[in-house]
Amino acid sequence: MPLPALLCLCAAAAASFTRRGDYRLAGLFPMHSAAPRAAARPAATFKSHGYCLSQAMRFAVEEINNSSALLPNVTLGYDIHDTCSESASLHATLRALARKGGREVEVLPTFRRYQPEAVAVIGPDSTELALTAAAVLGVFLVPEVSISYEASLEMLSLKRFYPSFLRTIPSDRQQVKAIFLLLQQFGWAWVALLGSDNAYGRDGLDALYKLLSASDVCVAYRGVIPVNKDASSPELHNLVRILTDVRVNVTVVFSNRRSARPFFEVVVRRNVTGMVWVGSEDWSLSQTIWEVPGIQRIGSVIGMSVEKTEPTMLERFKSWKTAEESAAADCAGSTEAEGGIGGSAQLDCTQRCTGCHLLTTAPNTYDAQASFNVYSAVYAVAHGLHDLLGCASGVCSKGTVYPWQLLQKIKQVNFTLYKSRISFDANGDIHKGYDIIMWNWSGLSWAFNVIGTFRVNPDRLSIDQGKILWHTKDHQAPTSVCSEACQPGEKRLQQSHHRCCFSCVACPSGTFLNRSGQYAPGDLYSCQSCGVDEWAPVRSEACFNRTIEFLSWSEPISWVLLTSTVLLMLLMAGLAVLFALNASTPVVKSAGGKMCFLMLGSLACACSSLFCYFGEPAWHTCLLRLPLFAISFTVFLSCVATRSFQIICIFKLNVRWPALYEAWLRRRGPVLFVSASTVAQAVLCLAVEAASPTVPRRDYGASAERVVLECAPSTEAGRSAAIAYTVLLSACCFALSYAGKDLPASYNEAKCLTCSLLLHLACSAAVFCTQGVFRGRSEAAAQVLGGLCTLAALLGGYFLPKAFVILLRPRLNTPEHFQMAIQRYTRRLAEA
């Protein structure tokens, strides 16, 4: 055996504590450590922390033995071993496993009837030693390491490897969750991770890195703090140099106390200031690190600490410990006077530490927390044993206790100890959370503030911002990001393998940046397209419903157009009544006689087609728009052309070709012409609608934020043919009316018709030209306005002058006046 381990074993034997009892517990605590002296020969140095833990176990056992409620008429004993090295820990584990009443460990096919010296083991206090002890004790199902207090490694929760392991400190899995939520709470997305070079640091670092990799937090650097190095180590200096090069403001240090102290000594030497250090529970309450000279300059230190211990227990422990140390001093004096080592009915003097006078009267915060974990572990074993021995009746049956039986009972314990709930989950982990602490640099002594809590089942983190004092220039929470957050509606453009390093690009119109995940999981690196009925401006974070646009009945412009249409139709009705009352007068006869009513009726039908442009487009309104207007308008133009042709025949062609007019009348030329031209237009319109029906549609191309409800146009060729037909008739009417410009004034409508037809052609051209300019309600309003202007112009140019004569110039509406006009026209021709 190496010399340091041998000396440690000797020290362990010399400083061992033993107490007899009905059932014995084993305690594994580090009360010495093998440390090299200046000379070549190593020596064991005393560790007050381990001694304090052993005293916590003794205190708990003494309380239970003096209790009448827990384990009545049963006495607990203990064997406390010094685990100053791995060899010493393994030796102590085997001693605890030795068969009861013997000194050897038997290897049997089954251990259901195996009775070791200890029914349960408390400790050891480090992850490395716990792994070894848990593996050995798991074979025997001894709930020894299963009630550990500092071994927080998550691997120990794997029951297939460590079936008898439980612990009174939360698993590192919970600590990793707490650190992760803390980073997210403050928005720290660019962090460095450091861990000690042991199972505790490496596994904690791996678990945290895995959790961060699936979140929005990026790890700028991930390193390991070497063990057994001092502040002059080049590896530590290189590690700190890398931290400053990656320019992070937050560093998570998942390390034990032994490795953390030299690291922070180097941090102070290299003058690293203003950083946030997030510490794991192993060093967060270490006063030795706080005592590093100049450490107050490094920035803000936030750490994890197991839930705060009730001070009542610590006060009782302190009083008991003071009394024990006084008794130890008296015993040592009496033993020296007698020249030997005497005995006692309760405790032998050899069972007390010979260095007790070196301890302070009160443990530090770290010792106090760990002492309560040991205290809780002893009580958990006692409650399991209480249930196993059937002590609920008030008397325990002192029967044989096999470790596997006790293990099952301990897993089921559920009790309150100084306001702390003690129970274990299926993995043997205690249901306990963490306090979030922050180092306080304001005083001259070690101090910290509890700024928040982390609780489990469910996992939740709460931070009291009012208790935080940031050690920054502005006393505000520092930021730690690789790239500043993009403005709303800007996507990230990756710049390196770190997703937190990016540039910002604005999302174009019609797309949005989905942060909330309403449509799909939030993606900050791509802009998503809006739906067909939605729109979004540039730099948008959401899509908006498009405005549905059509010429509504209730709009002001609609009221104006509808009023004009109705008035025009009333005017047509009034003219029809007027012409009906004066049907026998020369003016009405010269205007066409009965044909006037057909002309007014066709204009009214054409005017009624304008109502199809109002309201939400429907199938029937879209279908009627073009045919109703085109056919009705064709009827009117055909009548105008017929009447103009008849006047020309009477006054001009009858002299040269008298048979032409007679044949025109005999063959019913007016009826045939009007019918033929109307049928031709009707066939053309029906063919156009049959080839490509005019149906309602949604036009998404008119505007980004609008959806235009309109009637899908028929084929352009068909529409053009229908319009060209009316234009051709209009030109024919214009030519015929112009040809009769020198006729008698009573029969000469050339001026009025010419102006009307020119206005009609101008309106048609305007509507045709604005079809590509206006969309939606504007286009519909332009169509209605153009139709009104055309109809009003033709009505005014043809019928209003005749109505003027009938109403206001009755003297001109006599046969004599018309006869005189014809005579003047004949005389002028004769003179010519």
Read off the CATH number of the domain in which 93 is found.
3.40.50.2300
Taking CA atoms, 134 is separated from 139, 529, 650, 653, in Å, by 9, 57, 128, 128
Give the span between the Cα atoms of 775 and 380, in whole angstroms: 81
Beta strand ranges found along 385-536 (DSSP E) = 414-417, 420-423, 434-439, 448-455, 460-463, 490-494, 502-506, 511-512, 528-529, 534-535
Q: Are residues 384 and 494 in the same domain?
A: no
Q: CATH number for the domain including 603? A: 1.20.1070.10
Q: What is the pLDDT of residue 11?
A: 42
Q: What is the domain range of residue 794? A: 556-831
Measured CA to CA, the distance from residue 255 to residue 223 in angstroms comes to: 11
Indicate the residue type of 323: A
Does pLDDT of 498 surpass 50?
yes
Q: Are residues 533 and 573 in the same domain?
A: no
pTM value > 0.95: no
Q: In this structure, are 330 and 410 located in the same domain? A: yes
Whether 589 and 646 share a structural domain: yes
CB 229 within 8 A of CB 236: yes
Identify the pLDDT of residue 356. 38
* Cα distance between residue 153 and residue 755, in whole Å: 100
Question: How many Å apart are CA 769 and CA 771, to the nearest integer?
Answer: 6
* Cβ–Cβ under 8 Å, residues 124 and 89: yes
Query: What average pLDDT score do residues 259-275 get?
Result: 93
Task: Give yes or no: residues 577 and 649 share one domain.
Answer: yes
Q: Residue 1 CB: number of other CB atoms within 10 A?
A: 12
Using the predicted structure, report yes or no on whether residue 355 has a pLDDT greater than 60.
no
571 within some domain: yes
547 has pLDDT over 70: yes
State the distance between the two ends of the chain, measured CA to CA, in whole angstroms: 152
- Give yes or no for residue 7 having a pLDDT over 50: no
Q: Which pLDDT belongs to residue 454? A: 94
Residue 214 contacts by C-beta under 8 Å, 6 or more apart in sequence? Answer: none
Least confident span in 149-163, 343-357, 674-688: 343-357
- Is residue 343 predicted with pLDDT exceeding 80? no
Q: Which of 12-21, 323-332, 370-379, 514-523 has the lowest mean pLDDT?
A: 514-523
Domain membership flag for residue 351 = no
Instruction: Note the pLDDT tens digit of each residue in 151-168.
Output: 677 788 888 888 888 888
Packing angle between helix 127-140 and helix 86-97, nearest 10 degrees?
Answer: 20
Q: What does the pLDDT look like over 386-415, one tens digit per residue?
A: 999 999 888 999 888 998 999 999 999 999
Residue-wise pLDDT for 22-33, tens only, equals 999 999 988 887
Average pLDDT value for residue range 558-572: 93
Q: Are residues 413 and 532 both part of a single domain?
A: no
Residue 64: per-residue pLDDT: 94
In DSSP terms, 191 is beta-bridged to 219, 250
pLDDT tens per residue across span 234-258: 999 999 999 989 889 999 999 988 8
Confidence of residue 6 (pLDDT cuts 50, 70, 90): very low
Residues 512 and 624 in one domain: no
Q: Counting every residue, how long is the chain?
A: 832
Q: How high is the mean pLDDT of the chain?
A: 81
Strand 544-545 to 534-535 pairing: antiparallel
Asked if residue 180 is part of any domain, the answer here is yes
Residue 353, in any domain of the structure:
no
Q: How far lies 490's CA from each of 184, 487, 525, 594, 704, in Å?
A: 22, 6, 9, 73, 19
pLDDT in tens, 737-750: 777 666 665 555 66
Q: Give yes or no for residue 61 having a pLDDT over 80.
A: yes
Phi, psi of 351 (to 5 degrees): -90, 0
CA distance 769 to 761: 12
Q: Please name the residue ranges forming H helices in 554-594.
A: 556-581, 586-591
> Strands 76-82, 17-19: parallel, antiparallel or unpaired by DSSP?
antiparallel
* pLDDT recorded at residue 109: 64
Same domain, 305 and 335: no
pLDDT tens digits, one per residue of 413-431:
999 998 888 899 888 888 8
Whether 101 and 163 share a structural domain: yes
On the question of pLDDT at 331 being above 70, the answer is no
Question: Quick one: 247 and 298 in the same domain?
Answer: yes
Q: Residue 653 has what DSSP assignment?
A: I
Name the one residue in this structure whose structure tokens are 């220039």: 473
Domain-embedded: residue 801 = yes
- pLDDT tier for residue 486 given thresholds of 50, 70 and 90: confident
Using a pLDDT cut of 90, give the percent of the chain over it: 26
Band of pLDDT at residue 736, cut at 50, 70 and 90: confident
Count the helix, strand and coil residues of the chain and give each as a percent rounded to the nearest 5: 50, 15, 35
Residues 631 and 590 grouped into a single domain:
yes
Q: Does residue 345 belong to any structural domain of this protein? A: no
In total, how many domains does the chain have?
Answer: 4
Q: Is residue 502 pLDDT above 50, yes or no?
A: yes
739: enclosing H helix or E strand = helix 716-739
The crossing angle, in degrees rounded to 10, of helices 311-338 and 48-65 is 100
Would residue 485 count as lying in a domain?
no
| Confidence label for 651 from pLDDT (cuts 50, 70 and 90) | low
CA distance 748 to 766: 29
Residues 240 and 379 placed together within one structural domain of the fold: no
Q: Pick from 680, 650, 588, 667: which is nearest to 826 by CA? A: 650
**pLDDT of residue 268 exceeding 90:** yes
- 430-471 pLDDT tens trace: 888 899 999 988 877 778 899 999 998 888 999 999 899 898
Residue 45 lies in a domain: yes
Cis amide leading into 124 (omega within 30)? yes
* Helices and strands in the chain: count of H runs, count of E runs: 25, 25
- Token code pair at residue 210: 């895995």
Burial of 106 (0-12, 13-18, 19+ CB in 10 A): exposed
Give residue-wise pLDDT tens across range 275-299: 999 999 889 988 889 889 989 889 9
Judge whether residue 138 has pLDDT over 90.
no
